[in-house]
Amino acid sequence: MGEAWFMGSEREMYTGLMQSDPQDWPSRELRDALEALTTGPKAFGHIDEWSEWFEFLPPRVLERTEDRDVYELLVSAVFVHCLDPALPEFPPRFRMDLLDTLGRRLMAPSCWSDGHAGGSDGLLQPLSNTYYGLEAHGAFSAACCLVLRYLDAEAVDGWLASVLAIDDAAWRCVFVVWLAGASTLVLDAGQPDRLENPQHLDIDWNWSFLHDGSDPSRKLEPDAPQFAFFPEPQAQALRAALKRHLDLATMVRWGEQLTALPLADVDRTTTLWQYDAAVLHVVERYGLN
């Protein structure tokens, strides 16, 4: 496989990825290859080389002991190559393989410490030392979007219940921020490339701004077929599940638990305001009690 974007007669080839052991793959070549798999089809349309390498790379990337720096890229590549959430071009088992691996990556022991979100590998960090400390963007958003996009609609209620059942204040509060930031995608059939969230509701991930539901991008091919980012059955199932499992009183209680956390490394005032603003947004947009 080679680079997608180049000028001149020489095209860089990612020969390091031909090594049999994924642990030996050069990190830079892997990142560049995943970026090519993501950006190439959006600009140039389908090329067999990219489809073949998409089938080759993801399962082997997951064999690597260190995937933190490429997880978001890998999810973005999936969104590009699995453009139709119904996955008609893939074998039946592919959907569950996708959800059981990339979809559960944040449940790995390395993402948790003593039962709390935020482990040694740094992939899941719901609280950061930024101005708005609840980080719903990055890997957290990529994982939530992947699951909701490809999970069978009848399984969405159970997924949401399991997410909310995790007894960790930071995890629950950052999920509320994600719900607020994702409301345009869930309620208005929006696409990630058109998200214009304020900073405190940011749910972007690596290359999310490319995803417009078409291949190539409609910016280049206005008549290209377009698929919903979240299929309507999944979006409807999430809306119904939220009304069963979440309400204002519960989110207020989580906010009190967030206040009790030692927020020494984050901006306490703006982070608590961020959460309160997200709660109001979720209640209003999703019509919760």
pLDDT in tens, 59-106: 888 888 777 789 999 999 999 999 999 999 999 899 999 999 999 999
Task: Please report how many Cα atoms fall inside a 13 Å half-sphere around the Cα of residue 211, on the Cβ side.
Answer: 31
Give dist(CA 233, CA 176) in Å, integer. 21
Tens of pLDDT, residue by residue over 236-248, are 999 999 999 999 9
Give dist(CA 39, CA 181) in Å, integer. 24
The pLDDT value given to residue 250: 98
The pLDDT value given to residue 15: 87
What is the model's pTM?
0.93
What percentage of residues in the chain have a pLDDT greater than 90?
A: 70
Question: Does residue 10 surpass a pLDDT of 80?
Answer: no
Query: Is the Cα dihedral 160, 163, 169, 173 positive or negative?
Result: negative
To the nearest whole number, what is the mean pLDDT of the chain?
Answer: 92
Q: What is the mean pLDDT of residues 107-131?
A: 91
